[in-house]
Amino acid sequence: MKMLPSLNDIESAARVVYAVMPPTPQYCWPLLCERLGTEVWVKHENHTPLGAFKIRGGLVYFDALVRDRSVQGVITATRGNHGQSVGFAARRHGIPAKIVVPFGNSVEKNAAMRAQGVELIEHGEEFQTAREHAEKLARELSLHMVPSFHDKLMTGVATYSLEFLRAVPDLDVVYVPIGMGSGLCGMVAAREALGRKVEIIGVVSAQARAYAESFANRRPLETPVTTRLADGMACRSPDPQALEIMWRHVARMVEVTDDDVAQAMGMLFERTHNVAEGAGAASLAAALQERSRLAGRKVGIVLSGGNVDRNVFGAVLNESWE
């Protein structure tokens, strides 16, 4: 059975994170409350130095990794935010990093990763293929493969949930987007460490249903990925360790379409003037879908990142993204 990090583990991780960045804010936006018909709080992980929550996991993972002096270089696969996190942390510690992305990946996320000094490698048509290629290169080049889900990554990103649940201790329900699962499992860890009762709901893309299918069937299942807007949720093969945690602690999954996500991206900009990428808007999309069951409940949503290409965001705002 997978053990969750303790409160002491998460607080220790927070000290590593806060050496680089301050806690992110959480705001209750009146126009969002008006739209959802109840009190809604947004955790703004789009306000980190990399524009996404993943920086926290990278900092904590590399804080432990550098104690292994045999590591001469690292490699990972990503659609963008995880790669930025790895590049940022690797650069801080002087470790060379290679990042594998699929062809057709976000142009601006690719540029942001290169700006961290990584060697960017394009391979395959989707994240899973890129990940398999990264694992192959890790073996051939004797590089350390940074996984997409790991205890240290989960503990690092749990620091945003610790901030959120301490700042708004009486949340009734919180929606968390799922890529490979570190954010959702981090929310579980923070809730359990604090002894809170908040209901945790995972949000997946209806065009990347691996976690929803696996959650429902109680076994890991692969599903095709066809989402074109929620690249941060484009998972074909779920992580078994993440699933173990979800099966024990997550209330349910909600699926949102690309159209739902586009609507939520536009609404976040219109009503809070924050930019959200597809995965970053998915929590709001799920809450909107469940509006009828949220009356009288205090709702939390995680705006997990704001790294969306300019042309994509412009098309979303013009309602012409398809």
Query: What's the pLDDT score for residue 16?
Result: 98
Does 110 fall in a domain? yes
Q: What is the CATH number of the domain that holds 298?
A: 3.40.50.1100
Does 272 fall in a domain? yes
Residues 169 and 288 in one domain: yes
Residues 47 and 58 in one domain: no
What tens digit of pLDDT does each residue of 202-257 get?
999 999 999 999 999 999 999 999 999 999 999 999 999 999 999 999 999 999 99
Does 90 fall in a domain? yes
Residues 78 and 45 in one domain: no
What tens digit of pLDDT does each residue of 121-137 get?
999 988 889 999 999 99
Does 322 fall in a domain? no
Query: What's the pLDDT score for residue 227?
Result: 93
Query: What's the pLDDT score for residue 128?
Result: 87
Segment 167-173 mean pLDDT = 98
Domain endpoint, select from 110, 145, 180: 145
Residues 285 and 171 in one domain: yes
Residues 221 and 290 in one domain: yes
pLDDT-derived band at 84 (thresholds 50, 70, 90) equals: very high
How far, in whole angstroms, is CA 42 from its chain's centroid?
A: 15
Segment 22-37 mean pLDDT = 98
Segment 264-272 mean pLDDT = 97
- Spell out a b/e string for 54-73, using b for 16 or more CB atoms within 10 Å of the CB, else e: bbbbbbbbbbebeeeeebee
Range of the domain at 304: 7-52+151-317
Query: What's the pLDDT score for residue 68?
Result: 79
What tens digit of pLDDT does each residue of 146-158 get?
999 999 999 999 9
Does 1 fall in a domain? no
pTM across the whole model: 0.95
pLDDT value at 1 more than 70: no
What domain count does the chain have?
A: 2
Residues 163 and 107 in one domain: no
Does 2 fall in a domain? no
Residues 184 and 270 in one domain: yes
